[in-house]
Amino acid sequence: MIRRNSFRIRLLAAGLLMLLAGTSYAAKSSRSSADDGSSLTVVIDAGHGGHDRGGIPGQRVAEKDMTLDVALRLRNILSANGYNVVMTRSTDVFVPLGGRVAIANSYRNAVFVCIHFNATPRSGASGIETYFYSRESLPLASAIHYYVAGGAPSENRGVRRRGYYVLRKTNVPAVLVECGFLTNPTEAAYAQTTSYRQRLAEEIAAGVRRRNAVGSAFGTTRVATAESIPLQPYMDQTKVASSKKSRSHKKSARKKKSSSKRSDSEARAASSDREG
Ligand SMILES: [Zn+2]
């Protein structure tokens, strides 16, 4: 069940990206389709902070520092483009998930963009993935993923639907973008360069600006819907004990085919920082 869904998601994500690739010229050449940001508030959420370092135990590059740097760069770009920008944090402080959601929900005409980097014990895992939950968040997720995955040298892991707290509890379109694996030596090396973090911020900003253009370029029949991207299982990480995580890792590792690029335990390990 889980494996089949995961395969379907990959297929759908691949199909969506093929559609997106076909419209790249139209989307990029049509200036009128990008909004001027005059009425939209973008709430930028830099993942983790303070005592919450992010990532997995023993991880060398602190996720909280990378997310904050990209978030601050994104703020500068969007502010320069006329958007009203609000940060859930702009320094190295801990903000509870509920506090982050409350900030997003205090604005009416807003979008919520959560910036994270991935982590997993398997250092070979790599790539960009973008999460959404509500149907109204899919155009924003598609657009951000299109630009970030298109602008990064990393593997494209697709647009995924999952009920992370910050996506589930927000009343405005909300997206969580995983900007690569800090446990992958190549992606960690990229993330540690200012030019790459600036690139990530620029691509996320492009997705925000063209959030309505990327999806609408398909017409109504060809675009993926929230229903066609099935909800992925997730665990409420506030209730997961570490012993349970390692047991499930072994179990799914046994079941895993050698050709599989990732396991569900990886997804859980990678997500452990976001919910906890
Ligand atoms: Zn994270």
Looking at residue 197, which CATH number applies to its domain? Answer: 3.40.630.40
Residue 52 in any domain: the answer is: yes
Tell me, in angstroms, the distance from the centre of ligand 1 to residue 267's CA.
Answer: 12
* Its pTM surpasses 0.75: no
Would you state the pLDDT for residue 14? 44
Do residues 73 and 189 share a domain?
A: yes
Enumerate residue ranges in the chain where pLDDT < 50.
1-32, 218-223, 225, 234-276
Do residues 146 and 250 share a domain?
A: no
Residue 23 in any domain: the answer is: no
Do residues 199 and 150 share a domain?
A: yes
Do residues 198 and 257 share a domain?
A: no
The radius of gyration of the chain's CA atoms, rounded to the nearest angstrom, is: 17
Tell me, in angstroms, the distance from the centre of ligand 1 to residue 212's CA.
Answer: 26
Tell me, in angstroms, the distance from the centre of ligand 1 to residue 270's CA.
Answer: 8
Q: Range of 51's domain?
A: 41-232
Tell me, in angstroms, the distance from the centre of ligand 1 to residue 25's CA.
Answer: 32
Tell me, in angstroms, the distance from the centre of ligand 1 to residue 217's CA.
Answer: 31
Would you state the pLDDT for residue 215? 64
For 159-197, write each residue's pLDDT tens digit.
999 999 999 999 999 999 999 999 999 999 999 999 999
Would you state the pLDDT for residue 213? 83
Residue 19 in any domain: the answer is: no
Do residues 130 and 155 share a domain?
A: yes
Residue 189 in any domain: the answer is: yes
Tell me, in angstroms, the distance from the centre of ligand 1 to residue 41's CA.
Answer: 23
Tell me, in angstroms, the distance from the centre of ligand 1 to residue 271's CA.
Answer: 7
Tell me, in angstroms, the distance from the centre of ligand 1 to residue 161's CA.
Answer: 16
Tell me, in angstroms, the distance from the centre of ligand 1 to residue 119's CA.
Answer: 8
Tell me, in angstroms, the distance from the centre of ligand 1 to residue 46's CA.
Answer: 9
Domain count, the chain: 2
Do residues 265 and 133 share a domain?
A: no
Would you state the pLDDT for residue 214? 77
Do residues 186 and 161 share a domain?
A: yes
Do residues 207 and 105 share a domain?
A: yes
Residue 162 in any domain: the answer is: yes
Residue 17 in any domain: the answer is: no
